[in-house]
Every structure is written in C-alpha cells, then in structure tokens.
Structure 1
Amino acid sequence: MSSEVKGGRRAQLEHTGLRPGWTTGACATAATTAAYTALLTGEFPDPVTITLPKGQTPSFALAVEELGDGHATAGIVKDAGDDPDVTHGALVRVTVRRLPAGAGVVFKAGPGVGTVTRPGLPLPVGEPAVNPVPRQMMRDHVTEVAARHGGSGDVEITVSVDHGEEIARSTWNPRLGILGGLSILGTTGIVVPYSCSAWIDSIRRGVDVARAAGRRHVAGCTGSTSEKTVVAEYGLPEDALLDMGDFAGAVLKYIRRHPVDRLTICGGFAKLSKLAAGHLDLHSARSQVDKGFLAELARRGGADEALAAEVADANTGLAALQSCLAAGVPLGDLVATTARDEALAVLRGAPVVVDVICIDRAGTVVGRSAPA
C-alpha cells in the first residue's frame, strides 16, 4: 500500500468581498472522484475537479492518498471560506471499494460520520448521514469516472471525517438523532458566508423530527437558558426543542406549512421585544430594540408619561423592563402577548396554538402570554 499525506493546499475560489467555501458534500464528492480514479488507473488526480449541481467546476487539492488492493482512499481538507463553519478545516476522507457487478453504489458511515437513528429526516433510520444531494453528486461522478476509465460503477463509498464525532457535539446532530458524527451536507456544493442557511435547515429538520416522533408541542428557543426554562415549565423532551437562535421567522414559516398543535416561543426579553415589534430576524446586526415601541406598550399597561419617557430613554431593554417592574407595569407580559400576536399573524391561520415566555439573563420568567 502506498500512502502520502500532503499539507496546506486548499481549493481556491475567485471571489469578491467575503470568500465562499465548499460544503462537506462537495469535499466528499471530490474525494470520491479522486479515489475511484486511482482505483481504476493507479493514479490520483491532484488537484481533482468536480462539477457542482449548478455547473461550477472547482478543483480540490488532495491531503491524503492511499491505494490498496481493491480499495483507494482520498482526503480533502474542507475550506468553508469566510463562513464561521464548525467543520472548517476538517479532513474529509472517502474510501472507495470495488463491489460485484450489479451492486450499484452503496454508502457507509466511517469514523466521524453519523448514522440516522430517528425518523423525520430525508434518510431512513440506519442510513449513514450522507444527505441526498451529496449522494447523487457522488453517484454521478462515479458514473463519469467509470465511463472514462472502464469501470463498472459498482462501488462501496465510505465517508469519514477526522474528529467528526467531537465536532458534531457543536451541531444539531445529537438532538436530531444523528449519532456518531457529522452529516455530509450541501445542496449546491458551495458555502455562502453568513447565509445562515445551515441553521435554518437545521430548524426545519428539527420540526420534521419532532413531528415524526409524534410531538404535539414544540418550543422555539433563543438559547440554552430559554431551553431550560421551557423544560422546567412544560417537561418537553429534547427532540421537541428547536434551537431557534435569532431565526424566529424560519420557525414560524416552516410550522405554518408543517403545523404542530402547540408552539411555545421562549427567549430573552429584549430579543422577543423585537419579535413583538414585527421583526422576524432577531440578530443584533439586523434588528434593534425599539425603546419608543416599548414606551408605547408601557402606556397601554398603565404607565404615566414620566415612566413612558424613562422607558424610551433607557439604555437597554432590560433597564426599561426593570423600570416598569418597579412601577407595577407588566411590560414583560405585554411584550410576550404582542410577540404572540405577531407570531399568529405569520402563521396565517395555521392550526397552531402559540404562547410566548420572556426571560431575563438568569432564566427568570419576566413575562408570558396566554396561549392563543
């Protein structure tokens, strides 16, 4: 067996502004192409060029080459560009083995790649977590390599990611029932920096898993503190908790199309005041706490003009809340109720009961709506 590990070279991409990168699916496809080519010819193409679903043809440098009897392995270091991706720098390895004629293409999960253990995902239980689009990309490239070099196209593809099980702890995979490592993802092959598409896709898969498990009540939570709050309030299991982050709109729009009986939204008071004001993206770079709006809510709750002015001039949303609490004005409940009404408006009559819980940084409930 020959083995060579090469350091430091990455696929390059012409860019302006933030630099795009490559999905794990694109890396696995490139590694598959290189390994199968070597299995048929004895030589690894380096760099190896693939065709992405939208026609782009990037080239990838190989970080690992291993050629054995009836199998070959290639590895590529994932470059996520300027996206804050937890898999940036991960080494994606693919081993291709010959199978008998007629066997087709079979996928296996190697070390660091997860296995599906719960229904609701786009793969059956027991399958390696290699998503449908990357699978098709790999099949297509196997077919092309076979046609070019006289192979049958009947192969076993084992995808591995170095340290993937450890990296997966920072992802949604354990909650979604993908155990043992990462998922091999991607629909275009390209990672668009700060597109947030992966997070939103995880929210959708979380809803799918909860529905498949028969959960009738789910919770969209802005973080771990709010998750603890809804578990204490309702005893919800882990697979009913949606790590919503700042993407309230993503939760609401997907549940509008895929309803559950009840949705609880739980998060920090200031963040949910943005939802109450009509913002569906709660990130601080894309929406701000509107103290004038809070002052108007305070007036509805009985605040006099002096208190309303204090709220409007407050340094933070929490300071505004504290002023109202001291005066007996239920600003937290007003924010929660108004946020609930905004959520119902986005749901557009979908048969979902909604309630909202506002908390402070310590996880204390400072406002709640009635279910509606």
Structure 2
Amino acid sequence: MRGAMTGTAGTPRRPLKRGWTTGSCATAAARAAYELLITGSCPAMVEIALPGGRRVSFAVAMHETSTASATAAVVKDAGDDPDVTHGALVKATVQRGAEKTGVTFRAGAGVGTVTRPGLPLPPGEPAINPVPRQMITAAIDEAAIALRANGDVVVEISIPGGEELARKTLNPRLGIIGGLSILGTTGIVVPFSCAAWIHSIYRGIDVARAAGLPHIAGATGSTSEKAVQQLYGLPEAGLIDMGDFAGGMLKYLRRHPVPRITVAGGFAKMTKLGQGLLDLHSRAGEVDLGWLADTLRDAEAPDALVSLARGANTALQVLQEAERIGFPAGEIVARAAWQTARRALGDNGIALDVAVFDRDGRLVGQSSGPAHSPLPRKRR
C-alpha cells in the first residue's frame, strides 16, 4: 500500500502523521482570541486557511479575557516529527489597536526578538516570521469581515516555557533572543523532513553575510564545530550547524556567497563527502570502504592498510591503523571531500577548505592548506 511503513517483522505500520507549524497554531489562537475580543464568546474549534488554500480546524485549549484584551491558546501538535515545540501551548493575546494600523505584532513570553541583521525580519522585531504574519493577518481580516468589526488589532504571541525550549534550537546563535521563533511556510510539519534544520542553515548564512564575516565554517557535529572554531578562531556567528546537510549548505552558498567556507567533520562523514555524497546521513548511503581502499591505494598507501580498509568494519578502524603506521589517511580523505564540495559550491570565487577531525576533536587531515582558489575554468 502506498505510503505504508513496515516493521522489522514485515508487519504494516501506519504512515507517519503530519503536524502543524507554530505559525498555524499561532494563527488559530489569534483567530479565536479575536472572536473572543469582539463577541465575548470563544469558539471551541476555530478554522484557518493554510498558505496553499487548505482549510483546517484547531481545538482551542484555553481562553481568558481582561478589560482590554482576550487570550486564546492552541496546543502544538507536530505529528510524528521530533519537534522541540511538540505539546507546547501557543497563546495569542489580542487587543484593539490604533485606527488604520491593521494587524501589528508583539513578542510575548517565550517568543524571541530579532537582534541581528540578515534574517527575514529586521532587528527589534518579534520573531514571528513573514508567512505566519500573513496567515494571522488573513485570519483576522476574514473574521473582521464576518463579524462586521474593526480589524485594527495588536497580536501578542507567547509560548510558556519557550525561552528554555529555544536553548535547544539555533535561535541564540542566530541572534534571536528570549525565546522561540514562530515559523512555517506551508503551515504543515512533514515528519523528518528536516525543513527546520535546513531553514536554520540558510538563516545562519544570511546572518553571517549581513555581519560581513569573511570566513564561516559548516560542521557535521558539536565536536568538529568546537574544533574548527578553535582552529580558526571563528566567532559564534561564523559557525553553521550543517549536520548531514552538506549539499544544502553548499548549494545555498553557491547562490549567496561568502569569501571563505570551511567544511568540517569526522573521518567517516568526510569519507562519505569524498565518495560524492552530499547528504551525509546513513539513509543516503554508508561509508564505501571499497572506495576508501581504492583511494588510499591510489595515494600509494601501504598494501596492508589498503587490504585492511577493504575488509574493515568501520572507517574509524582504518583511521586508527593509518595513524598507527603514520600514513596521512585524513589528508587523503580531506582532499577527496574538497573535490566534492568544490563541485557543489561551483566556480564562484569562494575559498574552500575541508578539515577532518577525530572523535576527540584532533585535526587529522586538511585539504592542502587553509585556503583554496576555485577549480580552474575549463579551456574552450
């Protein structure tokens, strides 16, 4: 059956459940709070339009009123995606605004504020992204027409506990201070799509470009990130948590260049990059030990090391043996990874190098020096 999943014993399992973005939840909460403000009655369910036109309904988890405002909340359901905001309460407080101001936005407790240039919103603005703002405005405009009421309101979005949750995200590094971002371009969370991670990579590059940083580094994990930061003395804003998405980072840089980029990672991940993989996750492919053996052979590695690589259990085993006999396997892998990264980056003048680290963060390979020119242009 299309879309079905099977377990280890071949038993069918249900398809992964999709969820709702914080932007969708904030929109539903704002629509409910607006109706409560205007009518004095809060709906138990509220319907909103997603950017693609689909209409969906949300249950209102709580509501309350004061003399000047109304508040409603929706519980974030991320479906089967491991989203840090799953189960969070997304609240909207709505109060009347000045005449002809439309919908304006504020960051409440647990929602961050932008403090650095380079993001879709200028510094000082609440971290409620453009598409969620459009969704909220459209929902309130729709309700205002239906209720024959004024749509000039101030909408404050808050997420209890959001400041603590934000520490598990890249917001602090991006200069979003005080809480989470209200995100979403489609309104829907696709499980394990990693869209939020890729979004963070893009925004990290944007922030680095806006700050005029001459050198940034994308790392596969925390060990290589700390190591490459120490190696080059990079500021935090120059560190891109690319994870397994080397291709996504490099292709974005191709369109939005910086003067210099370092790709940093462990021996196994950089071996995959050297093989030609741009998605370094195990789902995309394993370390090809046959390729590694052939590459070491072409670099005139001892026959014993080549044989060991061909029959090794892991790339780590190969690295450990290479270091024991003093052969620079890390350098060989770094040069191969550089070739793959250079092709993805294109011939656009960006200086590129690859740094390979072991599990302790020790540099074991670097691609022929700290900076490189682009690949030479082909002669016509």
Question: Which TM-score band (shorter chain)?
Answer: over 0.9
CA contact (8 A) 1:301 1:329 kept: no
| 1:366 corresponds to which of 358, 364, 370 | 364
CA contact (8 A) 1:301 1:330 kept: no
**Which whole-Å CA distance do the structure 1 matches of 2:307 and 2:260 have between them?**
37
Match of 1:209 in 2: 207
Gaps of 5+ in 1: 1-14
Give the secondary-structure state (helix, strand or coil) at the position aligned to 2:49: coil
Match of 1:130 in 2: 128
| 1:71 corresponds to which of 69, 88, 91 | 69
Match of 1:244 in 2: 242
Give the secondary-structure state (helix, strand or coil) at the position aligned to 2:347: coil
CA contact (8 A) 2:305 2:318 kept: no
User: CA shift at 1:150, angstroms?
Assistant: 1.6
CA contact (8 A) 1:298 1:324 kept: no
Match of 2:354 in 1: 356
Correspondence 1:99 to 2:81: no
| 1:223 corresponds to which of 221, 224, 228 | 221
User: CA shift at 1:16, angstroms?
Assistant: 5.8
Letter in structure 2 aligned against 1:188: T
User: CA shift at 1:273, angstroms?
Assistant: 0.5
Match of 1:81 in 2: 79
**Which whole-Å CA distance do the structure 2 matches of 1:226 and 1:304 have between them?**
28
**Which whole-Å CA distance do the structure 2 matches of 1:160 and 1:211 have between them?**
30
CA contact (8 A) 2:110 2:163 kept: yes
**Which whole-Å CA distance do the structure 2 matches of 1:297 and 1:321 have between them?**
13
**Which whole-Å CA distance do the structure 2 matches of 1:353 and 1:146 have between them?**
54
CA contact (8 A) 2:96 2:152 kept: yes
Match of 2:170 in 1: 172
User: CA shift at 1:368, angstroms?
Assistant: 1.0
**Which whole-Å CA distance do the structure 1 matches of 2:32 and 2:305 have between them?**
69
User: CA shift at 1:68, angstroms?
Assistant: 2.2
Which whole-Å deviations, capped at 9, do the CAs of 1:257-291 have from their partners, x for residues lacking one? 01111100111100110000000111122221110
Give the secondary-structure state (helix, strand or coil) at the position aligned to 2:92: strand
**Which whole-Å CA distance do the structure 2 matches of 1:272 and 1:56 have between them?**
42
Which whole-Å deviations, capped at 9, do the CAs of 1:72-125 have from their partners, x for residues lacking one? 100111000000100101110000001232122110000000000000000011
Give the secondary-structure state (helix, strand or coil) at the position aligned to 1:58: strand
Output aligned runs, 1:305-324, within 5 Å.
305-324=303-322
User: CA shift at 1:143, angstroms?
Assistant: 0.6
Match of 2:180 in 1: 182
Task: Report the aligned-residue RMSD.
Answer: 1.2
Match of 2:146 in 1: 148
State, as a whole percentage, how many aligned pairs show the same letter: 57
Gaps of 5+ in 2: 1-12, 373-380
Match of 2:377 in 1: none
**Which whole-Å CA distance do the structure 2 matches of 1:303 and 1:121 have between them?**
47
**Which whole-Å CA distance do the structure 2 matches of 1:219 and 1:264 have between them?**
4
Which whole-Å deviations, capped at 9, do the CAs of 1:157-176 have from their partners, x for residues lacking one? 00000100000000010000
User: CA shift at 1:45, angstroms?
Assistant: 1.3
**Which whole-Å CA distance do the structure 1 matches of 2:310 and 2:72 have between them?**
60
**Which whole-Å CA distance do the structure 1 matches of 2:54 and 2:65 have between them?**
28
| 2:254 corresponds to which of 245, 253, 256 | 256
Letter in structure 1 aligned against 2:163: E
Output aligned runs, 1:107-122, within 5 Å.
107-122=105-120
Output aligned runs, 1:260-339, within 5 Å.
260-339=258-337
Match of 2:375 in 1: none
TM-score, normalised via structure 1 length: 0.94
Give the secondary-structure state (helix, strand or coil) at the position aligned to 2:217: strand
**Which whole-Å CA distance do the structure 1 matches of 2:28 and 2:260 have between them?**
44
CA contact (8 A) 1:203 1:251 kept: yes
Question: Structure 1 segments of 4 or more deviating over 6 A?
Answer: none
Letter in structure 2 aligned against 1:86: V
Tell me the number of residue pairs that the alignment of Structure 1 and Structure 2 aligns: 358
Letter in structure 2 aligned against 1:228: K
Give the secondary-structure state (helix, strand or coil) at the position aligned to 1:80: coil
**Which whole-Å CA distance do the structure 2 matches of 1:305 and 1:229 have between them?**
32
**Which whole-Å CA distance do the structure 2 matches of 1:286 and 1:196 have between them?**
14
Letter in structure 1 aligned against 2:351: V
Letter in structure 2 aligned against 1:320: V
Match of 1:25 in 2: 23
CA contact (8 A) 1:223 1:243 kept: yes
CA contact (8 A) 2:102 2:152 kept: yes
